[in-house]
Amino acid sequence: MATKQQELHPSVVKFLSNSPKKMLINGEFVSAKSGKTFDTVNPATGDVIVKVCEADKEDIDLAVKAARKAFEGEWKKVTPYQREMLLNKLADLIEKNAEELAQLETLDNGKPISESKAVDVPASVQHFRYYAGWATKIHGETLPVSVGNFHAYTLREPVGVVGQIIPWNFPLLMATWKIAVAVACGNCVVLKPAEQTPLTALRLGELVMEAGFPPGVINICPGFGETAGAALSSHMDVDKVAFTGEYITGRKIVQASVGNLKRVSLELGGKSPNIVFTDGDMEGALRGCMGSVFFNQGQVCCAGTRLFIEKKIYEDFVSKLTDKVKKIRVGMGLDPNTQMGPLVSDDQLKRVTGYLEAGKKEGAKPTCGGDRVKEGDLSKGYFVQPTVFADVNNNMKIAREEIFGPVVSAIPFKDVEDVVFQGNDTTYGLAAGIWTNDLKKAHKVAKAIKAGTVWVNCYNCFDPCVPFGGFKQSGYGREGGLHALELYTQPKSVWVSLD
């Protein structure tokens, strides 16, 4: 397939010409102590984009030391208003470099440039500005104690040095979700980007320094999970670790945290039910299903991958959905017309095609897609055909495990009771969608579904002021809004005797 790809922005070319990319520790871009590097790959072609210095235990230790020094020193002298201004400055710089960041994101992750531009970069700007505003509004309380003559109050203090480990599906946005709130609350950060997609985080690191953050406040160390990630999550001088990724890794993070009982927050995966009732707006529901599953190649933790359709309209809905899915334009991320790019990596391609085979073996019927893309230019990259599986039941592997690809499982249901039971019959609890025009039914089901977010007649809506996180094995702790401040601050109670 011939594709018209965007020319790379001169500053992207310049950024990439500087190889290997160094990590940010203590305000300086440095090589790994071991001298090791790794390749970051363009998933649309399989070609190496650039080499990246690989952090492991020693580098993580230096970064944690730098963060601790900043936290106990320079950063303490920075006022809340100055933190607000620094975060706003960083937001401005991201906005100023939006085009470049969007291209870097698409190169490294594969996602369509239209999405990098419309979602990843502007949402990152908005998120930094939202938490910039909070920096001056975090305060304790005075308390009316009844046990004697005391003046009792709380101070709300930062937790300290935080380790943050992020995945590859929204590399810049996930870095933003983690860093903005932590820094607004007065913490210092060591961020480990995913090994598949380190580039926008490193560029963000340059903007961090341009914005004027003191050295050590934000450190960015790309490396692998088993080495750099494990070193960060088990580090005895890290006070808190925040993680987004697979639930199996989440368990390892918790285990690694026990040494110093560091605080942990986890945003893990999902197998979210998206429920279509007969009485809903069908066009809206169809559009919602498309967005909920195929956005970002399906590599979204809250993707509505279990599509529950009321029996009466099951056949019709699946057929209309299939028609739409067949029209998705799969192509190179840098082509502005592309609606779906490649998966992030060869590993992810193997994983998703493995699930496609498993689905067919168990008797699910692909009404479209069902394989990787094997023809033309796209066969060199990690492209998968957008796939609708019909005749799925909730016990099949494809309905139980997170596929993290452009694959939806259509499951019929009888009534409210049936769909609430099936919807909740999962180890996950991240999100859910409900499509109905019956007000009572909408609220009843929203209440009954065990998930951290429920969307009614919409899907994948996000705003920095709305908390996001999971029930059950989708994790704990909430990012976004007021709730995230709880993760990054701790109350200190002070009693003053007035007698």
Q: Is 162 in the site for ligand NAI (CB under 6 A)?
A: no
Measured between alpha carbons, how far is 115 from 329 in angstroms, rounded to an integer?
Answer: 13
- Of residues 60, 162, 179, 253, which one binds ligand NAI by CB under 6 A? 253
Measured between alpha carbons, how far is 20 from 357 in angstroms, rounded to an integer?
Answer: 38
**CA atoms in the 13 A half-sphere facing the CB of 116:** 30
Give least dist CB 302 to ligand NAI, A: 8
- Of residues 27, 43, 269, 369, which one binds ligand NAI by CB under 6 A? 269
List the one residue out of 247, 322, 280 whose CA is nearest residue 459: 280
Residue among 230 and 309 whose Cβ is closer to ligand NAI: 230
Give least dist CB 403 to ligand NAI, A: 7
352-355 contact pairs (CB < 8 A, 24+): 352/384, 352/403, 352/404, 352/405, 352/406, 352/407, 353/384, 355/397, 355/398, 355/401, 355/403, 355/405, 355/407
- Of residues 63, 87, 138, 165, which one binds ligand NAI by CB under 6 A? 165
Residue among 248 and 439 whose Cβ is closer to ligand NAI: 248
Active-site residue list: 267, 301
- Regarding beta strands 407-413 and 387-390, do their DSSP bridges make them parallel or antiparallel, or are they unpaired? parallel
Residue among 234 and 367 whose Cβ is closer to ligand NAI: 234
Return the ∠ at Cα 173 (arms to 43 and 139), rounded to 5°: 160
Residue among 308 and 468 whose Cβ is closer to ligand NAI: 468
| Omega prior to 467 cis, within 30 of 0 | no
Among the listed ranges 5-13, 242-250, 310-318, 327-335, the one in contact with ligand NAI (CB under 6 A) is 242-250
Q: Is 164 in the site for ligand NAI (CB under 6 A)?
A: no
Give least dist CB 272 to ligand NAI, A: 11
Beta-sheet strands, E only, within 60-213: 142-143, 150-158, 161-165, 188-192
Give least dist CB 385 to ligand NAI, A: 18
Contact 269, 426 (CB under 8 A): no
Residue among 82 and 255 whose Cβ is closer to ligand NAI: 255
Measured between alpha carbons, how far is 414 from 432 in angstroms, rounded to an integer?
Answer: 18
Measured between alpha carbons, how far is 171 from 90 in angstroms, rounded to an integer?
Answer: 17
Contact 334, 113 (CB under 8 A): yes
Q: Is 230 in the site for ligand NAI (CB under 6 A)?
A: yes
Q: Is 219 in the site for ligand NAI (CB under 6 A)?
A: no
Could you tell me how many residues of this chain bind ligand NAI (CB under 6 A)?
26
Q: Is 402 in the site for ligand NAI (CB under 6 A)?
A: yes
Q: Is 438 in the site for ligand NAI (CB under 6 A)?
A: no
- Regarding beta strands 218-220 and 188-192, do their DSSP bridges make them parallel or antiparallel, or are they unpaired? parallel
Give least dist CB 497 to ligand NAI, A: 46
Contact 457, 286 (CB under 8 A): no
Q: Is 169 in the site for ligand NAI (CB under 6 A)?
A: yes
Residues 171-210 close enough to bind ligand NAI by CB under 6 A: 192, 194-195
List the one residue out of 34, 247, 75 whose CA is nearest residue 162: 75
Q: Is 225 in the site for ligand NAI (CB under 6 A)?
A: yes
- Of residues 301, 321, 388, 390, which one binds ligand NAI by CB under 6 A? 301
Residue among 109 and 249 whose Cβ is closer to ligand NAI: 249
143-147 contact pairs (CB < 8 A, 24+): 143/493, 145/495
The helix (run of H) or strand (run of E) holding residue 166 is none
Residue among 251 and 329 whose Cβ is closer to ligand NAI: 251
Residue among 209 and 254 whose Cβ is closer to ligand NAI: 254
Contact 388, 366 (CB under 8 A): yes
- Of residues 50, 188, 268, 313, which one binds ligand NAI by CB under 6 A? 268
Site pattern 331..370 for ligand NAI (x: CB under 6 A):
-----------------x--x-------------------
**CA 297, chain centre distance (Å):** 14
Give least dist CB 28 to ligand NAI, A: 23
Interface residues toward ligand NAI, by CB under 6 A: 165-167, 169, 192, 194-195, 224-226, 229-230, 233, 244-246, 249, 252-253, 268-269, 301, 348, 351, 402, 404
